Amino acid sequence: MIRIGSVLVSEGKGGVYGEKMLKGYRVWDPYRSKFAALAKIYDGIDLESERDVLYLGAANGTTVSHFADYVRTVYAVEFAPRPMQDLIEVSDRRKNIVPIMADATRPVEYAAFVSSVDMIYQDVAQPNQAEIAISNLPFLKKGGTLVLMLKTRSVDVCESPESVFENSKTILESSGLEIEFSCWLKPYHKDHVCIVCRRV
C-alpha cells in the first residue's frame, strides 16, 4: 500500500466522500475507516493488485472505494437499501466493484455472484459476527486472509468488550482458522477490535 510519510493514501480518482487529497492521492483516514486504522497499527497487512476481496458490510462504500483503488475485484455485500444506493454510485466510478444487495448471514444468496477470493473483510454490526465470518469461509481460498472488524458492543452489551474479544478468537480458532494478529483499534475507534486470520 502507498504511504506519503505516515499518511496512508490510495491513487484512485478522488471526490468519493469528500476525502482530502495529498499530492494527487486520496487520503485514507483511520478515523473514517477501520482498515486504515489497522494499517496504522499493524504493518503486516497489505492489499495487492492481483487480489480479489469479499467485503461484508460495505455500507456506503467509503472503505470499499479505497480497496478498489488497490485490488483487482471487490465483491461488496450490503443489506440496507439506503447505503446500497450510495454504494451503487461508488461502483459506477470504479468498475472493479461488484455491489451485491444481500444479507451476510446468508451466503447462499450471493454465492452465484462471488468467485473464490484472497481476502474476506467483514465489518458487520450483529451479535454473531464470528459465526457470520465462518459461514463465508467457503469463498476464501486456502491460505487466504480473513479480517474481522469486531464491534464488541454489538455482540453483547452486558459482556465486557475484553470477554467478547477473547470469545470471538476462540470461535474463529475452533473453525480451523489461524489467528495471525489481533488488536484494539484505539484511539481511532472505540470498543472495536480487529482479528486477522489465515485459512490453513
Which residues belong to the annotated binding site?
62-63, 78-79, 103-104, 123-126
CA-to-CA distance for 122 and 89, rounded, in angstroms? 21
Edge-to-edge order in the sheet of strand 97-101: 97-101, 73-78, 52-56, 117-122, 140-151, 192-199, 177-184
Integer distance in angstroms from the first to the last C-alpha of the chain? 24
Contacts with 158 (C-beta within 8 Å, 6 or more apart), sequence order: none
Binding site, annotated residues for S-adenosyl-L-methionine: 62-63, 78-79, 103-104, 123-126
